[in-house]
Structure 1
């Protein structure tokens, strides 16, 4: 049994890898047998542990799977080849898209230069100038996509992406906490409970959605990330929620997302709507009929539709 892992080696358990990459444990075991990758070592207890370089490669593989590649076609590639594929596809996507706003380009350059102090100042300056809605939809969201693409292309270190995420989260929380909570006259405002499923640890999309919901006059309560299903249900009852809003990153395993949504629908009160957004394949390809899937640009329309359907109801 191979247990000769250097004492200072960074190794991840199979649960860590599943959480970090969005690849299910079963998938990792099947690939190990079928493609001879990954090739985990064993710890003193006989459990699989994955060296950092294999986890990095698995992240790249997952990124390319999300772009439509088949595992058998790419798993045999080196990390450098996978990065080249990711860069090629990101470049093709950018070629068909409108050029990013100058603010977005400027913030991306600051992120790539790891100048987080200047990036924080730029974001804080843009927030009052643009207003919260435009800040989220025209700056934060496209910038986050570009940061992800830049990381996938190998043009941004992992720590740089983490620094960016933490910084933007602080800016968004500041904006959310600064918003007045005075009730608006007129149609009722939905009570929205925001969270992620237990397997989803990424919360940036959740914060962006919360900011937009608040900007449109909704009453929001956030549980943060990785909330157990029964706790979501209990919180929705306690807060008298009209909507449970869930965020899914591209790292979320599609099967786990679909199963979690189905179980949540079965447990939650019938009158509580499920809304979901994000880049998870479970939402992009075959979204469940009982879930309203929307992107950030559709938040205002979704709330307007909810108000039309509940016109005359008590606020």
Structure 2
């Protein structure tokens, strides 16, 4: 029997990456280390995933957003994953993704979405835009995506519009460029950049001097850029899908390569908790903690 990527209900690894946000390398590592997912191979040897496996991966991603680690989740059958999701939903009631905002997302209405962002920006300022709208809205959209109320194009539309608006807001925002000088990026295997941009907005609102390299930077380039920018802090963001062990190894290697005077700040849903307490590393669990982190740095310097 010929099996190809065009076979019904089968998705290739690129399609699974788009639908779940999990990197191809992560999918391969999980397959090798945990025995799931279990793709079949087409006639060319390429991996193909069933819809059931993709749905299970989406459940796992949602729970990882809530702090669960993949090693635990990948061993659970779908019904136990559903039970964990149900328990999480009972503690979180979406309050933002409704009315005109939900309609704008589903209709891909750029102007309506920008009006919502602009209204909150004028009322709450840059920090309020992030902490009171974007960050909680990200959670609500994740819930809606998991339920099937929003599709992959809707989620991608939202992400692109948020990033476009935040970059525009930053471009028109006065930047005094006070210390600390913060270099923002991710490890080379982390391609999600929205969290990084949200951090840049929060730091800029505190008057910090930010230099963003975007995602997926090799360690040697991060070290070189920190020297070039005369950085006081290197800030890294991790999405929930990033493997914890890989994050820990990368952070320790980077910490060992940076001058001791350069601090390493780590945040995001995938930031490894075990890095807490290591010299020269600050773990930031909530983006709302960033202003306190800047204030603390200035007090110490």
1:11 aligned residue: 12
Alignment partner of 1:305 is 2:266: no
Q: Deviations over 1:180-233 (max 9, x none)?
A: 2345xxxx5110000111111111111111011111110000000111111111
1:270 aligned residue: 260
Q: How does 1:215-234 map to 2 (within 5 A)?
A: 215-234=205-224
Shift of 1:143: 0.9
Q: Deviations over 1:84-124 (max 9, x none)?
A: 546513422216xxx74xx6644652355334322222112
Distance in 1 (CA, whole Å) between partners of 2:176 and 2:213 is 21
Moved more, 207-216 or 286-295: 286-295
Distance in 1 (CA, whole Å) between partners of 2:125 and 2:14 is 43
1:169 aligned residue: 163
Distance in 2 (CA, whole Å) between partners of 1:66 and 1:136 is 18
Shift of 1:74: 3.1
Change beyond 3 A, Cα 1:303–1:111 = same
Change beyond 3 A, Cα 1:288–1:11 = farther
Q: How does 1:138-153 map to 2 (within 5 A)?
A: 138-153=132-147
Unpaired segments ≥5 residues, structure 1: 311-315
Alignment partner of 1:21 is 2:12: no
Q: How does 1:172-191 map to 2 (within 5 A)?
A: 172-183=166-177, 189-191=179-181
Shift of 1:176: 1.0
| Number of matched pairs | 290
Q: How does 1:29-40 map to 2 (within 5 A)?
A: 29-32=32-35, 37-40=36-39
Distance in 2 (CA, whole Å) between partners of 1:223 and 1:38 is 33
Q: Deviations over 1:113-160 (max 9, x none)?
A: 334322222112322232111111111111111111221233221221
1:313 aligned residue: none
Distance in 2 (CA, whole Å) between partners of 1:173 and 1:242 is 23
Shift of 1:20: 3.7
Distance in 2 (CA, whole Å) between partners of 1:58 and 1:125 is 36
TM-score with structure 2 setting the length: 0.83
Unpaired segments ≥5 residues, structure 2: none
Secondary structure, in 3 states, of the residue corresponding to 1:189? strand
Alignment partner of 1:94 is 2:92: yes
1:241 aligned residue: 231
Contact map agreement 1:243 1:275 (CA 8 A) in 2: yes
Shift of 1:3: 6.0
Distance in 2 (CA, whole Å) between partners of 1:15 and 1:261 is 27
1:120 aligned residue: 114
Moved more, 285-294 or 202-211: 285-294
Contact map agreement 1:192 1:242 (CA 8 A) in 2: yes
Q: Deviations over 1:64-85 (max 9, x none)?
A: 35654844663455xxx85x54
Contact map agreement 2:40 2:49 (CA 8 A) in 1: yes
Change beyond 3 A, Cα 1:3–1:221 = farther
Alignment partner of 1:289 is 2:274: no
Distance in 2 (CA, whole Å) between partners of 1:91 and 1:141 is 17
Distance in 1 (CA, whole Å) between partners of 2:15 and 2:156 is 22
CA-atom RMSD in angstroms: 3.0
Shift of 1:266: 1.1
